[in-house]
Structure 1
Amino acid sequence: MRPALALPLTLGLAGLLAACGGDDGEPPLPQLGPATGASLRGCASLAGFSFANTTVTAATDVAAGTLTVAGTPVPAHCRVTGTMFSRTGVNGNYAIGFEARLPAAWNGRFFHQVNGGTDGSVATATGAVNGGGGLTNALKLGFAVVSSDAGHNGAQNAAGTANFGNDPQARLDYGYQAVGKVGPMAKALILAGYGKGPDRSYIGGCSNGGRHTLVAASRYPDQYDGYLVGNAGFNLPKAATANIGGYQRYLTLASTPGDASTGFTAAERTLVSNAVLARCDALDGATDGLVQDTTACQATFDLARDVPTCTGARDGSCLTAAQKTTIAGIFSGVTTSNGTKVYASWPWDNGLQTGGWSFWKFVVPSILDSVAVGQIFQSPPEDAATFVGPVFAATASVDQMVARINATAGAFTESAMSFMTPPNPSDLSQLKGRGAKVMVYHGTADPIFSADDTTAWYEALRRANGGNAGDFARYYRVPGMNHCSGGPATDQFDMLSPLVAWVEQGQVPGAVTASARGAGNAGGVNADLPASWSATRTRPLCPYPQVARYRGTGSLEDAASFSCQ
C-alpha cells in the first residue's frame, strides 16, 4: 500500500491547473508526489532473491561505462537475470526469461520495459524514452529497469511445430500474463535491493511494446503510475490480418509475379509522396517537406485526382487505373468479402516512399505476419506440420483469418482479440482515478500499425470522459515517422521525462521538442531524411488535436518558429 504524499510546495501554476481536472466539471484528480532515491545495498546478495515461481540465475555488478547507449556511458548497476514459471508445454519447455538492472544510485523509480515483435528475447533492460534513436534512457536516468521475453524464446518464434502459438499458455503469457507476472516480481526485487520498493512505477515500449503498455493500462491500472505508449499495435491481430490482405492486393498489381513490391514500386511511391507534399505540405503554413496537419491532408489529397493516370506503360511517372483503385482501397482499409473493414484506414503521408515502409508492406507479411496470424492468433492454429508462411500470406482467406482471430477452440480458451487487446480500451477510469498518466505517440507514416487506429482510440477516450481526456492522457502524432522511428521525420525525442514531470509534479505536458537525426547524431543517423533538411532540424510534437503551425517568421529548421495550435 503506497503512503499518501502531500502536494509538493513547489508545484507550479501548470500543476495547479492540472489538479483542477479538465473542462468537463469533474472533481480534481489525485496528485501523485515525487519519488525519492536510495543506494543499492549490494549486488551479490540478490543471487539469493526468493520469489514465487522465480529462479535467479545470476546477479552481477556492472561497472560504470561498461554499457553505453548513444555513445554515452550508463552508470554502475547490478544486472540480475532469471526465469519465472518454468514448465513443460506443447512441443517444448517454456519459461519467462528476464533481466533487471538496478542502478547503484537509484532515483526511487521502476521502469517496466516491454518489447516488440513477437517477443522471444530478453532485450537489454535500459528503458527507451522513445521508439528509436534516443539519447538517454531510464537506466541512465536512475530508474531500476526490467525486461522479459514474454514467456518464450527466439527458437519458439519459428514457423512449424516449435512455434509458441501451439501452446495455449504461451499465447496468454505473450498477450498479457507475462507483464502481470514480471511486474510484481521486479518490485519485490527492488525492495530486496534497496530496502524499499519503488515510489513510482512506469511501463513503456513501442510497437508490440506499445500494445503491451496499453493493455497494461486496461488490465493493470493499479500497478503503474505512468504509461508510455509508442506506435501501439493494440489491435495487433487485426493489423496483421489486414497487412496480409493488403499484401495479397499488391500481388494482383505486381509486374513480377509473386513480388508484391512491383505492384507499387519505389518510383511510384515517391510519385505519390511528392503528390501528397504538393497538396498538403503548406497546410501548416510552411513548405518544409513535412505534412504536419495530417487531418486536413486527408480531406485535401485525392489519389485519383492528384496523381497522373498512365496512358501507356508504367514508368514511375503515373499509376494505372487499376493501381489507383486497389491502392486507394488499401489505404481506406482492407475489407472482408462482405465489405466489413478488417482494421483501420491509413493516413496519406509522404513517409510512404521509404525502405522501412516497403519492408513492412511487402516483406513482413510472408515472414512475420503469416506466422503470427496463422499460428499465434488463429484458433485453432494452422496445421504446424504443413504450415508455410509465404504460401499462407499469398493465399489465406481474409474472411477465414478474421473469423479465427475472434474464435476460441479446444484448449485455446481465449481468442486473440481477447488475449492481445485491452479489454475496454476507452475505459481507463481506474487509472485516471488513481492519478496515473498516459502519454501516447504514433508516427503518421507507420506502415504496420495505423495512426488512424490510435486517433480513433483517443477520440473514443475523449468521448468516454465528457469530451476531455487531456487531464490524464495525451496523444502525439509524429509527422512523417515510420514504425517507431525513421521516415522524413524529427523522430528523436524524450517522452519519459515529461511523463515523470506530469505524474510527480503535476506539470501538464504541452509540446515535446523532437529532432532530426542527421550526420553525426549520437543516437544514429536516419537515412530517410531529405537532403534539404538541416541535420539538426527540430519541431514541436503537439498534443492532439493541436498541430504545429509556422509562426510566419524564423528558420524552418527551428522548433521555436512553430507553435501548437
Structure 2
Amino acid sequence: MSPHPSRIHPLALAAAVAALVAGCGTTTLHRAALPQLAAAQPATLLACANLAGSLALADTRITSSELVAAGPITVQNVATQAPAHCLIKGRMKERTSPVDGASYAIGFEIRMPVAWNGRFLHQANGGLDGSVVPALGAVSGAAPVAPALVQGFAVLSSDAGHGAPTPFFGLDPQARLDYGYQAVGTLTPMAKDLIRGAYGKAPDRSYIAGCSNGGRHAMVAASRYAEHYDGVLAGNPGFSLPKAATAQLWKAQQYAKISTTTDAAGQPDLTSAVTPAEFKLIASKVVGKCDILDGVADGQVNDVAACQATFNLQTDVPTCSGARDGSCISSAQKSVLASIFAGPKNSKGEPLYTGTWFDPGIAGSNFAFWHFGAPATRDAGAAAFLFTTPPTPLTAFKATTGMQYALNFNMETDYAKMFATTAPYTESAWSYMTPPNPTDLSTLKNRGAKMMVFHGVADGVFSPADTAQWMDRLNAHHQGQADAFARLFLVPGMNHCSGGPATDQFDMLAPLVAWVEQGKAPDSVAANARGAGAKVVNNELPASWSANRSRPLCMYPKVARYNGTGDVESASSFSCK
C-alpha cells in the first residue's frame, strides 16, 4: 500500500496527460513554431567611474562606482576568480515608512565585466533577502564552477527593498510588496539603463535566476515580468511560500507530540522527535526498497514515482517500543511522519499544502534543519510579519518565543489570514508572494523565452511534489506542449538547493542560454557529486560512491535509468527514459 493512497502521484498524472494528448488521433495537436531569439553579441565596457554623473535614473542614487581588477572574490567561503569589472552600488526609492517609521530603500549592486557577453542576469537572492550579496551569479547547484559573472554576464543583486534579513519589514505595506514582486519590477529597467550607459547598448538577452526564495522571485518574474526576461532559471522554487511557511509551523506541532525532551525554556526539543540515526534508518529502508527500480543498485533512487508506490513506512521500517538505538521507530513516530509526508490538512480534511516524497535525502542535515530548526526561527517570524494580514504587533511577537508562536498557530483561523487584506495592507500575502497565474505562461512562451526549473527530491521546506504538480498543470494548460518553453529537472537525493546524497553540482545557466539563443532544448543536464577534490566537498555522500560520480538530471517526468552495461559511476551509463 502506498503511504499516500488517496493522492494521484504527479508523475503518474504527467503520463496520463501525455497519453491523452497522444490519443487524440486525427485531432492530435501540432506544435506551433515559437520565435527563435537571436544570440547576444559581446561588447566592451566604455564607462564606469563616471556613470553616476552621466545617467539620470529615476528614484536612483548611485553610492559608489569603481573598476575592480581581475582577481578572487570570496562568497560563502568559496573563492571565485572574477574577471575585471565595473562595480556599481546604489539605492532606489529611498523613503521613510508612515507605518513603522523605519527607513527603506531598494539596495543593489551591479557588476559589469570589461569583456561583456551582451547578457544581463538578475541574481534573485534567497531567504528573507535583506542584504545585497556580491553579484556573481552563482545561481545553480552547489558551488557552481562557472558563475554568471565569470561567463561574461552583467549581474545585478539586491536586498529586495529592506536592509536587514529579518522579517520585521513586514510591518510596512510597501516593503511587503517590494519583497513579493515590485523590487524586481523596479530594478529591471534601471539595470538595463545602467548597462546601456556602460556599454553603449542595452543587453541583447536578459535572464533571471535564483534558488529557494530566489526561485520564487524567478517564477513570479516569469508570470509578472515575462516581457522583460528571455530566460528564467528557478531552483527549488518556493512559489507557494506562504503555504509552505505555515506548513512548517504545522510540522512543529506534529513533532512536538513525540518530542521526548524540552529546552531550557521548557518547550519541546523537536530534534528529539526523530533522531539523525532514525532518519538514517528510514533512508536506508527507502534505498533497500527503491534503489533497483531504475535498473541498478547504486545507492541512489532515481525513480521517485515508483518509489512512493513501493516503499511503505508502516511495514518496511521496523517498529519498536524499547530503547531508541536507531534500529527501529515507534508507532507514534510512524503516525507523525506519515502525516507530515502526506502534508497538512484542516479540520475538514482539506489539504493546506502539498505533501512530500520519501527519498534517501531525508537523512540529510539540511532536511533536519528545515523540519526541526527553521519552524521556530525563520518560519514563525515570516508567518507573523509577512504571510498573515494584519501582521502580528512587534511587541506581542517579542513577548513570546518563536516556538510558542509555531505551536499556537491555528491552521484554521491564522492560516486564513494569508488571504486577508486590511487598510493599509491592501494586497494579501498570497497575492503579493505568488505568481498571479502560474499555469498560463503564454507571454513568456510567445516571446520565444524559455524557463528551466530544478528541485531537490528531498527538499525539507518546499515540496518537490508541489513543483511537479505545477509542471503537470502548466503542461495541461498548454495542451501538452509546455516542454517547448518550460522544463523541470528533479535532483534525486538533493535537499534544499544543495546537499544530501546527491549529484548536486551542475550548471543550468549555460544550457538555458543555449536553449534561448540557439534553440538547443535540454533533455538532460550533467551533474556531478562533490567528493574529495571538489571545490566544496559534500560530506554526506555515501562512502560507496565514487568521488567523481556523475549522472544526467532528466527532464521531468523522465527518469535516469541504467543502460544495463557500463560504469555505474558514470553518467554515460544512464539514459533518460
TM-score (normalizing by structure 1): 0.93
Q: 1:495 and 2:500 equivalent?
A: no
Q: 1:76 and 2:84 equivalent?
A: yes
Q: 1:36 and 2:36 equivalent?
A: no
Partner of residue 302 from structure 2, selected from 292, 296, 299: 292
Shift of 1:439: 0.3
Residue 85 of structure 2 aligns to which amino acid in structure 1?
H
1:69-468 mapped onto 2 (5 Å cutoff): 71-89=79-97, 90-154=100-164, 157=166, 163-257=168-262, 258-387=268-397, 388=400, 389-468=402-481
CA distance 1:275–1:232, shift in 2 (3 Å): same
Partner of residue 539 from structure 1, selected from 551, 555, 559: 551
Q: Which shifted more, 125-134 or 411-420?
A: 125-134
Partner of residue 558 from structure 1, selected from 564, 570, 577: 570
What secondary structure is seen at the aligned counterpart in 2 of 1:417?
A: helix
Q: Per-residue displacement from partner, 1:22-57 (whole Å, max 9, x unpaired)?
A: x83142111101000111112111122321000000
Q: Per-residue displacement from partner, 1:329-378 (whole Å, max 9, x unpaired)?
A: 11011112221211111010010112111111100010100000011111
How many residues in Structure 1 have an aligned counterpart in Structure 2? 537
Q: Which shifted more, 60-69 or 199-208?
A: 60-69
Matched residues in 2 for 1:68 and 1:312: separation?
49
Residue 127 of structure 1 aligns to which amino acid in structure 2?
G
TM-score (normalizing by structure 2): 0.91
Matched residues in 2 for 1:558 and 1:164: separation?
48
Residue 231 of structure 2 aligns to which amino acid in structure 1?
G
Residue 72 of structure 2 contacts residue 80 of structure 2 at CA under 8 Å; is this kept in 1? no
Shift of 1:400: 2.4
Q: Per-residue displacement from partner, 1:250-296 (whole Å, max 9, x unpaired)?
A: 01111113111111111111111011101111100111111100111
Matched residues in 1 for 2:64 and 2:29: separation?
51
Residue 49 of structure 2 aligns to which amino acid in structure 1?
A
Residue 35 of structure 2 aligns to which amino acid in structure 1?
P
**1:12 alignment partner in structure 2:** none
Q: 1:67 and 2:73 equivalent?
A: yes
Matched residues in 1 for 2:101 and 2:314: separation?
51
Matched residues in 2 for 1:394 and 1:337: separation?
16
Residue 129 of structure 1 contacts residue 136 of structure 1 at CA under 8 Å; is this kept in 2? no
Matched residues in 1 for 2:555 and 2:32: separation?
23
Matched residues in 1 for 2:183 and 2:345: separation?
33
Shift of 1:112: 0.4
Partner of residue 489 from structure 2, selected from 458, 476, 479: 476
Q: Per-residue displacement from partner, 1:215-254 (whole Å, max 9, x unpaired)?
A: 0000001000000010000000000100110111001111
Residue 452 of structure 2 contacts residue 488 of structure 2 at CA under 8 Å; is this kept in 1? yes
Q: Per-residue displacement from partner, 1:84-142 (whole Å, max 9, x unpaired)?
A: 00000123100000000000010100000000001000011011240421011110001
Matched residues in 2 for 1:492 and 1:203: separation?
20
Matched residues in 1 for 2:124 and 2:211: separation?
8
**2:11 alignment partner in structure 1:** none
Gaps of 5+ in 2: 1-27, 263-267
Gaps of 5+ in 1: 1-22
Residue 72 of structure 2 contacts residue 79 of structure 2 at CA under 8 Å; is this kept in 1? no
